[in-house]
Amino acid sequence: MSLTTPQLRQLLTSRPFHFFPRIDSTQNYALQWLRDGAPSGAVVIADEQLMGRGRHGRTWHTPPGVALAISIILYPKVEALSQVTMLGALAIAETLDGLGATDIGIKWPNDVQLNGKKISGVLPEAVWDGDQLRGVVLGMGINVRVDFTDTELERTAISIEPALGIKISRAELLVALLAHIDALLILLGTGELYNRWKSRLNILGESITMMDVNGLIKGTAEDVDPQGALLIHAADGTLHRVVAGDIALGE
Ligand code: BTN
């Protein structure tokens, strides 16, 4: 079923939102809305994105009718900023639990995986006034029925409906996701949010290869700290603290 503004107005009750059948990126719209003073929890939703953005400048594909693409505006304290990513990935993981998925994990830092394949990505983008944090736009894309057959992503990406053998309404998925986000917002900045996120990570103890801004690191994914940084024990005995990067399993 297509998403529509009247249907979303009914389901989202008093939450401020904008819905676009087609947009370049919900992130861009939400970033401007934040700068214009959007209220906390305001959300931008699109059926299709023409220039969806992923981490590290990558493209995020959102074909029409088959995915959930949202950007939610939040105003965390600056000390809790690093937990916004955790909140996003955890909210998605818990929403998917609620659909009966049994093998949901988080691949550091913020890819939500089902059966070891990426089902969702999270993109937090902060807005600053000098050194003052104005707010954050938390972007989330979930593959609902994106068909990856015969594409370069077939080996690594997956969608909810074919994976779980169910049909779901994107509007209801959105409502469930927003409820999980609201519940986790109360925990933002706490050890409980960190622990719940950490318990879902599927790479701790694994041999990994990490590409970060300083190059390649090979070693064991030993731990994550409360800011979400990954601690890698390299083969030469050194401990690396990495705040952003891409991981591949194996050496
Ligand atoms: C990633 O895994 O690289 C993050 C992907 C984030 C995609 C979402 S879809 C909604 C929002 N709008 C965008 O342009 N990107 C995010």
Decide if 121 contacts 55 (C-beta within 8 A): yes
Mutate to test the pocket of ligand 1, among 3, 29, 48, 60 (most ligand atoms within 8 A of CB): 60
Q: In terms of C-beta density within 10 A (0-12 exposed, 13-18 middle, 19 or more buried), how is residue 211 classed?
A: middle
- 207-249 is a CATH 2.30.30.100 domain: yes
Range in 32-41, 151-160, 211-220 the model is least confident about: 211-220
Question: How does residue 173 score in pLDDT terms, banded at 50, 70 and 90?
Answer: very high
Q: Cα separation of 146 and 137, whole Å?
A: 24
CB 113 near ligand 1, within 6 Å: no
Helices (H) then strands (E): counts for the chain? 6, 12
Amino acid at 57: G
Closest C-alpha residue for ligand 1 atom 11: 139
Instruction: Tokens 């057959």: give the residue.
Output: 149
Q: What are the sequence ranges of the domains in the chain?
A: 5-198, 207-249
Q: Architecture of 5-198 per CATH?
A: 2-Layer Sandwich (3.30)
Cα 26 to middle of ligand 1, angstroms: 8
Question: How does residue 214 score in pLDDT terms, banded at 50, 70 and 90?
Answer: confident
**pTM of the predicted structure, to 2 decimals:** 0.95
Phi, psi of 97 (to 5 degrees): -55, -45
Decide if 55 contacts 212 (C-beta within 8 A): no
Section 109-137 average pLDDT:
96
Instruction: Determine the Cα angle at 50 with ends 46 and 55, to 5°.
Output: 85
Q: State the chain's mean pLDDT as an integer.
A: 94
Residue 180, pLDDT score: 98
Cα 173 to middle of ligand 1, angstroms: 17
